[in-house]
Amino acid sequence: MSLIQVINPNTSLAMTETIGAAARAVAAPGTEILAVCPTHGVESIEGHFDEAIAAIGVLEQVKRGKAQGVSGHIIACFGDPGLLAARELASGPVIGIAEAAMHTATLMATRFSIVTTLPRTLVIARHLLQQYGFTHHCAALHAIDLPVLALEDGSGVAQEKVRQRCMQAKREDGSGAIVLGCGGMATLAQDLTKELGMPVIDGVSAAVKMVESLVALGFGTSKHGDLDYPLEKPLSGAFQHLN
C-alpha cells in the first residue's frame, strides 16, 4: 500500500477536492491519495507573492506527510512553488504539476501549447520552461484572463474559456499537445483530449504516475549533493514548527 500526498498549495478546499479527485481517478490499485492543503496561506496563487507564501504551506505539508509515512509528494499548483525546497526536506520523490505536465507533453509531441489563467502568471510558466529545459518545446502560451477561483464558481464560464483557448491553440500553434496551466483545470483534461483529438494534459494526474513510477523504481530525491536535507539550524518564531 503506497500513500501519495497531493498538496494543493492554496487554501481553497473546493480546489483541493478537485485536485484530489483528479489524482484518485488515475491512481494505481495500490495507491492511496492524501489530498491536503495548508491551514494558512492564500486562497489562490496568481503571482510570485502568492507563491512565496504558498511555499511555506507546501513545506509544512511535506513535513507532515513525511511524518505520516507517505511515499511521495505532489505540489499541485502550476508554478511548482517551493519545489526545490520541498525536495531538500523530503526523502521520497517530490513532483510539481507544471513539471509533470511539461515532461509528459514532450513524450508524446514535438511541441506543446500551454493554456493558463491570468496573463500575470505567464512569466512563471516561462521561467519554469527555462529551468526545466523546455523553452524550445513550447509553441505558445495562452491565458484565459480569468482568475484561478473562477474555475470554482460553478458557472462553467472559465471552463468554456479554457475549451475555446484549447481549440484555438489546436488551430494556430502547430503543436501536438496542450498543457493545462492550473491545478483547478485538472478535471477538464480527459474530456478535452477526446473532443480535440489530441492530448490535453493535466499535471495532477501526470504527477501521480511519476511519483508511483519513482517509488516503484526505488528512487526518492537524491540526497547526494545540493538536494540533501536542509542543514540543521534553529528555526525561530513562526517557523519553529518546521524544525
Residue closer to its own copies, measured from CB, 109 or 144? 109
Bridge-based pairing of strands 2-7 and 31-36 is parallel
CB of 2 to its own copies, least distance (A): 12
Q: Per-residue x/- marks for its own copies, 162-201, CB under 8 A?
A: --------x---xxxx------------x--x--xxxx-x
Contact assessment for residue 70 and residue 1, using Cβ atoms and an 8 Å cutoff: no
Phi and psi angles of residue 56, each rounded to the nearest 5 degrees, phi first: -65, -45
Residue closer to its own copies, measured from CB, 35 or 75? 75
Q: Per-residue x/- marks for its own copies, 120-159, CB under 8 A?
A: xxxx---x--xxxxxxxx---------x------------
- 127: cell is 521561467
Binders of its own copies among residues 202 to 231 (CB under 8 A) are 205-206, 209-210, 212-214, 216-228, 230-231
129 vs 13, 135, 172, 198, 235, CA distance in Å?
29, 5, 20, 21, 32
CB of 43 to its own copies, least distance (A): 5
Residue closer to its own copies, measured from CB, 155 or 222? 222
CB of 141 to its own copies, least distance (A): 9
User: How many Cα atoms are found within 13 Å in the side-chain-facing hemisphere of 90?
Assistant: 31
Q: Where are the alpha helices (DSSP H) in 1-121?
A: 13-26, 48-68, 83-89, 97-106
Binders of its own copies among residues 22 to 61 (CB under 8 A) are 26, 28, 39-44, 46-53, 55-56, 59
Q: Per-residue x/- marks for its own copies, 82-121, CB under 8 A?
A: x-xx-xxx---x-x---x---xx-xxxxxx-------xxx
Contacts of 193 (CB under 8 A, 6+ apart): 199, 200
